[in-house]
Amino acid sequence: MRPLAALCFLCGFFLASTLSEFLGCTPRKSVPYHVGGNIKLFREDGVWNYSTMLLREDLGLLFLGAREAIFALDINDISSKKTQVYWNVTEEKQRECTYKGKNADTECRNYIRVLHKMDDNRMYVCGTNAFSPTCDYMTYAEGQLKLEETQGEGKGKCPFDPFQRHSSIMIDGDLYSATAINFLGSEPVVLRSSLTAIRTEFKSSWLNEPIFVHMDVVRESENSSDGDDDKVYMFFSENAVEYDFPSKLMVSRVARVCKGDLGGHRTLQKRWTSFLKARLDCSVPERSLPYIVQDVFLLQHSDWRKSIFYAVFTPQSGSSDVSAVCAYSVPSIGNVFSKGRYKTPVTVETSYMKWVMYTGELPVPRPGACINDAVRKLGIESSLGLPDKTLQFVRDRPLMDEVVQPLNRKPLLVKKGPMFTRIVVDRVTALDGQSYDVMFIGTENGFVQKAVNYDGEMVIIEEVQLFQSPEPVKILRLSSNTSQLYAGSETGAVQMALSECGRYTSCVDCVLARDPYCAWDPTAALCTTLSSAHSTSDTALIQSVKDGNAFLCPKPVIVKPENYTLIPGNNINLRCQSDINLAQMHWYFNDQPLNTSDTKYFFYSEGIMILDVSAADEGQYICQAVEQVKGQQYPRTVAAYHLQPRIEVTEPPPTPLPTEGPVVTPEVTPDRGPTRGEESPLLPQSSSERGKLVALQVSVALVSLLLVSLLLWNVHRGHFPLLRCFGARSPRRSGLGQAQSLSANSHQVPFQAKVSSEDKLLVTPSNCNASNNHSSGDSAGNRNHCPSPRVVSPMDVFKYINDESEI
């Protein structure tokens, strides 16, 4: 093998091993829709696209935006609708939309896309309004939801196309939005709607056909040592300009602007002076094109330096079905923008533009930086005072050379299967006093997966089916106060608890789930949900999320075996099915493991089938589910069976009837009986053999009786002339001789028995001459003449045979 080929083989082998290790992450439990627990569903006939949510915990309501409707639902039970308001498209707007080539039933409707809380307790709502974005204010008072009908322009705040991704956030009364600003969707913009509106440049180096995903704010000005500003981060994907690729190559991006940005004085007027972007990396252990970000969630901490962005990624080609989750710390993203190098475009051969790392001298203040104490020392109090050299640099070079890497430089979770769509994260404090981040990940087939990372070990606790029909999860919202998760899709919205500890039916099951929400209560003998009422020093509860040590549990109750009757020759089905996807099923027969390669046993997902059972299969069968955590195996008995033969009642021997004459009693020798382990060869050894012998005896008796009856009947009919044995001639025989003489002279049939037609046979005498050429008048020849065939009965054959001695 060539050295290069060998190297490629080894690289491929290690890559496949690493990928298989990642893809081995399987949900411990799969909860189907009909057993999903306390899941609440809301939908209304004729209303679709439940994809916008606003949690108002201060009002105890969830505001749900859909197509041409906004609902106010009880935050504790969304199936309970408090009120609603409808925002329909006018006939004129719908007609104008159809004139522009859009579909009247789907596109030319009003899809609610923006729903935010204002500082004055009102809500700001925007809809697509038949490709004419419109915004309004909404109030909730005295149990009623009402639009103020002060409709304003929604361009740049809400998308024209209802199926185009966008993002927005309300910060201190100002709306930050990322969407398209024109009907065709060809002019993307990141906009701040305020008294001094600020937006991005219409340049491909700024935004190149982007797909906006998420936007959030990090309060970096709080407890800042250098007087820094708050940052607004936005996540999107776009066509890359920095790669020499034959076709369009999508990459994931994270961009940042400063909240206090006012634009430039001459250069970049009413444009962002702090807009910078960088590539977001989430590399999976397989050779593929860059993965594309689909959703982002900011898990905020009281110290913003400990805040983390969680993001889900999917492949941009259909050749893979692997999704990934990556986590990014806020400081690592900030360092790329504040300390990293820039990319700059250079012209190659007068026509081709190539992006390379900028190696020249940077202007002061640093391009794209926020106004902080260092900049203020230069006499610059706002972005309006920035020099043109700094502004021109950031206008032409908004792209950073460095790539934002995830924590530990690898994904937290890589999973094969339905694509990930949305993500939310909750931080939970377990009994050990440590905090753990629990991820809830929506999928394209309507499931949500609950996962947590324990020091680099990813555990998917469970996956729950939210919707009865497979449909993508379009939005996820989480409320830590109510411990509820809310999800929306095209057909409805659902609510589920963050933890359903009641699904864990035993201590071992509860501990091995490694769910930080749940712990086993030995006193109540149930798996309970942790709350603020439970102290972390409560030693009565049992929990082991890091190690999954189920040996902390008391000894389980022994499973009582179920009795089965063993009938030789039959097949017996023993059911055993575990609800744990990670468990391996082991079968034991009389405390010995069953051989899986034995053809006598048929193993399948719901148990085993024992084929052609016999007395050797009598005994106890135990089915165990074995889970392995941290190299330790934890068996649990799921089912137990005891196979025993059928018990038959033997009848006592019949009492002998009295007989005439002396009764002969045979001698009985005690030592002549069979010894232990020896059986009498004359007696059947089982009930089945005794039954066969009795049946054989009855059959022989019936056949003997039939033969005797047949013999007596033949004697009675004279078919068997037994009297000749004593030398006497019967008159029947004399008559027959006379009949033969008479028939010889008259050429008549010598004898004809009265038999049925089906019993007649043709018989030819054995003394017939070979030739029958003779004179009809020769009397001498008549004695040698061969008579015609005679018709006789089968039983008459015996008579002729007996008569041959007298011929």
pLDDT recorded at residue 6: 40
- Confidence band of 178 (pLDDT split at 50, 70, 90): very high
Report the DSSP pairing between strands 352-357 and 343-348: antiparallel
pLDDT at 764 over 50: no
The average pLDDT across 502-514 equals 94
Query: What CATH number matches the domain at 562-643, 3.30.70.20, 3.30.565.10, 3.40.390.10, 2.60.40.10?
Result: 2.60.40.10
List the domain boundaries for the chain.
37-153, 165-417, 562-643, 751-763+788-807
Enumerate the H helices of 565-644 as residue ranges: none
CATH superfamily of 165-417: YVTN repeat-like/Quinoprotein amine dehydrogenase (2.130.10.10)
pLDDT recorded at residue 3: 40
Task: Write out pLDDT tens, residues 349-407.
Answer: 766 788 999 999 999 999 999 999 999 999 999 999 999 999 999 999 999 999 999 99
Contact 790, 807 (CB under 8 A): no
pLDDT recorded at residue 745: 40
Task: Write out pLDDT tens, residues 538-569.
Answer: 568 999 999 999 999 999 888 899 999 989 99
Pairwise CA distance, residues 337 & 400, whole Å: 7
Pairwise CA distance, residues 494 & 77, whole Å: 9
Report the DSSP pairing between strands 112-117 and 77-86: unpaired
Q: Which is more confidently placed, 516 or 746? A: 516
Contact 427, 445 (CB under 8 A): no
CB atoms inside a 10 Å sphere around CB 442: 29
Q: Best-predicted range by mean pLDDT among 131-135, 318-322, 642-646, 668-672? A: 131-135
pLDDT at 472 over 70: yes
Integer CA distances (angstroms), 679 to 396, 683, 684, in order: 104, 8, 9
The average pLDDT across 635-657 equals 76
pLDDT recorded at residue 8: 39
- Confidence band of 769 (pLDDT split at 50, 70, 90): very low
Q: Scanning the structure block, which residue is given the tokens 């017939």?
A: 768
Amino acid identity of 650? T
Q: What is the pTM of this model?
A: 0.78
The average pLDDT across 640-662 equals 66
The DSSP code sequence of 749-774 is -S------GGG-EEE--TT--S----
- Confidence band of 466 (pLDDT split at 50, 70, 90): very high
What SS3 class is residue 698? Answer: helix
Task: Write out pLDDT tens, residues 608-633.
Answer: 999 999 999 999 999 999 999 999 99
**Above pLDDT 90, what percent of the chain?**
67
Q: Scanning the structure block, which residue is given the tokens 């920035």?
A: 386
- Confidence band of 45 (pLDDT split at 50, 70, 90): very high
Enumerate the H helices of 488-551 as residue ranges: 507-512
pLDDT recorded at residue 233: 98
Exposure b/e, 165-176, CB count within 10 A at least 16 = b: bbbbbbbeebbb
Report the DSSP pairing between strands 399-404 and 276-280: parallel
- Confidence band of 248 (pLDDT split at 50, 70, 90): confident
Mean pLDDT of the chain: 83
- Confidence band of 756 (pLDDT split at 50, 70, 90): very low
Pairwise CA distance, residues 412 & 325, whole Å: 6
Task: Write out pLDDT tens, residues 7-28.
Answer: 333 334 333 334 434 444 899 9
The average pLDDT across 31-45 equals 87
Contact 451, 460 (CB under 8 A): yes
Residue 441: which of 430, 426, 455 has the closest Cα? Answer: 426
CB atoms inside a 10 Å sphere around CB 786: 14
Task: Write out pLDDT tens, residues 707-727.
Answer: 877 777 676 666 555 444 434
Q: Scanning the structure block, which residue is given the tokens 């377990």?
A: 430
